[in-house]
Chain A
Amino acid sequence: MPDLVLREIEPGDNTARFSLGDAKHTPLKLFLKKKAKHHHQQNLSKTYVLVDQDDFRVYGYVSLTCSDVNLEVKAPVQDFPYNYPCVKIVRLAIDKAMKGNDLGTTLVNWSISIAKEKIMQNVGCRFIVVDSKKSAVGFYEKCGFTLLDTNANRSAQHPLLYVDLQKI
């Protein structure tokens, strides 16, 4: 297996061979191949890739963007009755050739720390959130995310999970 580095996506990165092995994950593949570099350049989302240093083949990626949590109830923090700023994990995927190596966990750890160390401490940001695929809820929980524990959310197509950055 190749040595990998984690860094920001670059124009010359090779995404052509990125494969997830299942048609249901095609949107994740297409986002990397067609949109990730453009969004990164335009500062709409930031994409970090796991890339082979020798041929720049991308084996995994995570894309992050700014978002907010809009609550229709009394605010959880006193005297802050506004939307709560958060970082959202937009996309995360690992090439089928690298499955089983905990690289997804690496990307989640990285994302949590970008939000906590870079965003929260310099701008203000309370949560990192993800609209997970149902099949990935257990993965995110294992990585430290908390599932919004309601029947509606548990049965949703993309259940919401979050980490309260203030508490870690």
Chain B
Amino acid sequence: MSVRTSVFGSVRLTNEDAEKFRQQVTYGRPKASAIKAAANGARMIREFDKKGFVKITVKGK
């Protein structure tokens, strides 16, 4: 086991996990879904900055 973490603690990676993380960070490309998530979130941040809250439409409504 070479990933050690706790709810509020550090993430400590050793051995194969550390090396794989390094490779993924060095050579990995951003996921389209991450870019989309950041764009959606940025819209909420702008609303939050103006009003102190974000109105959320519940789809099932």
Q: Which residues of A contact B (CB under 8 A)?
A: 1-7, 44-45, 50, 65, 67-76, 83, 86, 88, 90-91, 98, 100-103, 105-106, 108-114, 116-118, 129, 131, 141-146, 148-153, 156, 158, 160, 163-164, 167-168
Contact = CB atoms under 8 A, between A and B. Distances in A.
Contacts of B16: 150-152
Interface of B: 1-3, 5, 7-22, 24-26, 28-31, 33-38, 40-42, 44-45, 48, 52-56, 58-61
Contacts of B5: 131, 158, 160
Closest A-B pairs by Cβ, 10 of them: A113-B41, A144-B34, A7-B53, A109-B41, A167-B30, A144-B33, A76-B25, A6-B54, A72-B14, A5-B53
A-side interface mostly: mixed
Contacts of B26: 76
Contacts of B20: 148-150
Contacts of B61: 1
A67 B10 contact: yes
A117 B42 contact: yes
A168 B54 contact: no
B18 A73 contact: yes
B58 A103 contact: yes
A129 B34 CA distance: 13
Contacts of A102: 59
